[in-house]
């Protein structure tokens, strides 16, 4: 049952979309990134508005389960692309295979995908489209032994508050280890990025006898669940980017929403919200996934997203990234000296931190999913043939995986 607030938000969606349509011929899209992109302008407004729904009522919008998305919707839309070994099959009670490679060995990599959505929205079809596309464009030697597992965690919109999702990830991870697997990778976007980081801290603090993930991929990770009041002032990314990003600062002012996600739990814990804790290098420098050779980390954040400052602050303390100040407008031009940090030495984990010029929240999975139409037409599509502006994050992520996954001629492996 929708409340008055829920109905108001729901009914505002067509009005807002119509406004974008009417303005587009005269003033262009909703931000600089989508100035000439009507489809993504409409999508951004749709997602932004939906995120303002009361948490419990947003369950009414998450009508598609992961089983339905994988085994009916995506399979129907892309029958050729989903002809993968064990596609859509359940692994345990809370995870599905996107692909489980044939004749895999225990040391072959398993990428565990942790979807974003504020912990209260279900996986979106666009996220699966992007993930499926990434798999297909990888170099053949790299993807031949790669398996991808989608975690189907329970949502705060259905009463499962943080940290219930962490307990589910721990359970699935233990199941994989008990089955003899030794090479797990984590990939999380937004809330899924938070889940990945809190899992690393769980391994560190609880001293459990589990192997650390060999690779950690963070796409616009939600590292700080509750921003400080000063961050809603000029000069901070929450304030400056609220008009143009999918995420808005009002989301974090909603006490009712925060209570529905967190409940009574103390959020200033490393296993809940690392960004709300006093940052110390020593809290991260003994996590093998982030520092030891044979491991790798990829982080991407948008120049024009609200999370930018929080993500770069975490990267500074955890990965010793120098990418702190992003005050000057990039004008949409990628400058490696300003927007990229790569650590590629023999004595440490391989690290890439990337800021997308004019990028918004979670672009790789929410706004670059149109790549799947190209992959559908040409399953042998190569990354180097893609438009680097339109598919900036997708290209960066695919190149990272081609670089670190086991296979011939790679400089680093996991």
**Tens digits of residue pLDDT in 275-303:** 999 999 999 999 999 999 999 999 999 99
CATH number of 70-404: 3.40.50.1820
**Tokens linked to 174:** 């233990």
DSSP single-letter state for residue 251: H
CB 116 within 8 A of CB 193: yes
Rounded CA gap, 112 and 295, in Å? 15
* 31-36 mean pLDDT: 97
* 91-98 mean pLDDT: 98
pTM of the predicted structure, to 2 decimals: 0.96
pLDDT for 32 equals 96
Q: What is the mean pLDDT of the chain?
A: 95
Confidence of residue 61 (pLDDT cuts 50, 70, 90): confident
Distance of CA 351 to the CA centre of its chain: 17
pLDDT for 247 equals 94
The residues that bridge with 298 in the sheet, in sequence order, are: 217, 352
Residue 411 has pLDDT above 80, yes or no: no
Residue 413 has pLDDT above 50, yes or no: no
User: Percent of the chain at pLDDT above 70?
Assistant: 98
Confidence of residue 326 (pLDDT cuts 50, 70, 90): confident
Angle among Cα 389, 393, 397 to the nearest 5 degrees reads: 135
Query: 233-255, pLDDT tens digit by residue?
Result: 999 999 999 999 999 988 887 88
Rounded CA gap, 189 and 117, in Å? 8
Distance of CA 76 to the CA centre of its chain: 25
Confidence of residue 414 (pLDDT cuts 50, 70, 90): low
CB contact set of 175 (below 8 Å; sequence gap of 6+): 91, 92
Query: Smallest Cα–Cα separation from 398: which of 142, 193, 150, 134?
Result: 134
**Domain residue spans in the chain?**
1-61, 70-404
CB 96 within 8 A of CB 86: no
């Amino acid at each position: 049952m929708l409340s008055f607030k829920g109905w108001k938000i729901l009914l505002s969606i067509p009005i807002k979309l119509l406004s974008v349509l009417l303005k587009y011929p005269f003033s262009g899209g909703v931000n600089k990134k989508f100035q000439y992109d009507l489809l993504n302008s409409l999508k951004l407004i749709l997602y932004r508005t939906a995120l303002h729904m009361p948490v419990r009522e947003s369950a009414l919008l998450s009508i598609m389960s992961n089983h339905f998305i994988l085994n009916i919707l995506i399979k129907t839309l892309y029958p050729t692309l989903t002809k993968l070994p064990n596609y859509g099959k359940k692994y345990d009670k809370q995870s599905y295979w996107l692909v489980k490679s044939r004749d895999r060995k225990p040391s072959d990599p398993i990428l565990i995908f942790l979807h974003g959505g504020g912990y209260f929205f279900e996986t979106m079809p666009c996220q699966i489209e992007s993930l499926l596309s990434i798999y297909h464009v990888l170099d053949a030697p790299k993807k031949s032994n790669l398996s991808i597992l989608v975690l189907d965690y329970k949502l705060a919109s259905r009463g499962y508050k943080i940290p219930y999702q962490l307990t589910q990830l721990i359970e699935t991870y233990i199941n994989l280890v008990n089955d003899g697997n030794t090479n797990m990778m984590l990939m999380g976007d937004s809330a899924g990025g938070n889940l990945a980081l809190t899992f690393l801290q769980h391994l560190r603090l609880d001293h459990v006898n589990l192997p650390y993930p060999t690779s950690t991929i963070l796409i616009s990770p939600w590292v700080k669940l509750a921003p400080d009041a000063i961050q809603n002032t000029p000069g901070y990314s929450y304030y400056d980017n609220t008009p143009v990003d999918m995420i808005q600062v009002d989301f974090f002012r909603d006490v009712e929403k925060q209570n529905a996600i967190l409940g009574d739990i103390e959020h200033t814990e490393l296993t809940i919200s690392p960004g709300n804790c006093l940052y110390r290098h020593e809290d991260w420098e003994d996590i093998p996934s982030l520092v030891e050779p044979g491991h790798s980390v990829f982080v991407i954040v948008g120049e024009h997203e609200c999370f930018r400052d929080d993500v770069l602050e975490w990267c500074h303390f955890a990965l010793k990234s120098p990418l702190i100040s992003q005050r000057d407008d990039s004008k949409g031009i990628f400058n490696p000296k300003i927007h990229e940090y790569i650590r590629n030495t023999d004595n440490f984990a391989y690290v890439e931190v990337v800021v997308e010029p004019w990028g918004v929240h979670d672009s790789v999975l929410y706004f670059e999913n149109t790549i799947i139409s190209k992959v559908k037409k040409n399953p042998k599509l190569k990354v180097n043939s893609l438009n680097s502006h339109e598919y900036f994050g997708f290209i960066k992520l695919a190149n990272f995986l081609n670089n670190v996954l086991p296979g011939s001629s790679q400089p680093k492996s996991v």
